[in-house]
């Protein structure tokens, strides 16, 4: 996309409020349990994970994993590839995968399958944003922030070719003219 405009879709205040609600819900659900391992999916989830994890009131540790499904720009490739694994052994642990956005559902499906083979106590999923119109694989989402239409969004960790990742809000990229 050469020439585009950014249109705010989800404001900074709305994100903050919703992340707070999700953190409360997660803290309640895991209140009587052991430590929760939050697995952030790089790079996009780093902002969401930072805010979400700091609002939790339960014992938690942070891990990161990196996958690649979009080679560059916004053209979907068919396969998901593990680019960087996490360090922690998750056997017997409670795991919450934290994603920025669920598009086709392939990435989340791949990660749930992968982490489930490591004998964790549980694997659940959390995403800030989902595009329901784009779903190809129905990966279960246990916690979801917002549903959005089928538009490319940037900000709050999300990028387009590495651009606009650190905007405080989520904006839709609209072709100009």
Which residues are known to be catalytic?
Answer: 103
Q: What string marks each residue from 15 to 44 as x (binds ligand IMP by CB under 6 A) or -?
A: -----------------------------x
Q: Answer yes or no whether residue 94 interacts with ligand IMP by CB under 6 A.
A: no
63 binds Mg ion per the rule CB under 5 A: no
Residue 46: CA count within 13 A, CB half-sphere: 13
> Interface mask (CB under 5 A) for Mg ion, residues 31-60, using x and -?
----------x--x----------------
Structure-token match 């891990």, residue found? 63
Q: Which of residues 107-166 bind ligand IMP (CB under 6 A)?
A: 107, 152-153, 158-159
Q: Which is nearer to Mg ion, 51 or 100 (CB)?
A: 100
Q: Is 4 helix (H, G, I), strand (E, B) or coil?
A: strand
Binding partner of residue 26 among Mg ion, ligand IMP, none, CB cut-off 5 to 8 Å per kind: none
Looking up tokens 């053209």 gives 75
The pair phi, psi for residue 107, each rounded to 5°, is -60, -50
> Quick one: which of 20, 48, 106 has its CA closest to 38?
48
Is residue 126 within 8 A of residue 97, CB to CB? The reply is yes
- Is 100 a binder of Mg ion (CB under 5 A)? yes
């Amino acid at each position: 996309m050469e020439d585009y405009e950014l249109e705010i879709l989800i404001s900074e205040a709305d994100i903050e409020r919703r992340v707070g609600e999700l953190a409360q819900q997660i803290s309640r659900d895991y209140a009587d349990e052991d430590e929760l391992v939050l697995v952030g999916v790089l790079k996009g989830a780093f902002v969401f994970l930072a805010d979400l994890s700091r609002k939790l009131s339960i014992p938690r540790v942070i891990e990161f994993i990196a996958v690649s499904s979009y080679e560059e720009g916004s053209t979907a490739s068919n396969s998901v590839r593990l680019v960087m694994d996490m360090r922690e052994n998750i056997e017997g642990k409670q795991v919450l995968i934290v994603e920025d956005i669920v598009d086709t559902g392939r990435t989340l499906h791949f990660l749930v399958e992968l982490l489930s083979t490591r004998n964790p106590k549980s694997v659940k999923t959390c995403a800030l944003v989902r595009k329901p119109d784009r779903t190809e694989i129905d990966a279960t989402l246990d916690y979801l922030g917002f549903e959005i239409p089928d538009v490319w969004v940037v900000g709050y960790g999300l990028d387009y070719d590495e651009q606009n990742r650190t905007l405080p809000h989520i904006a839709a990229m609209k072709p100009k003219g």
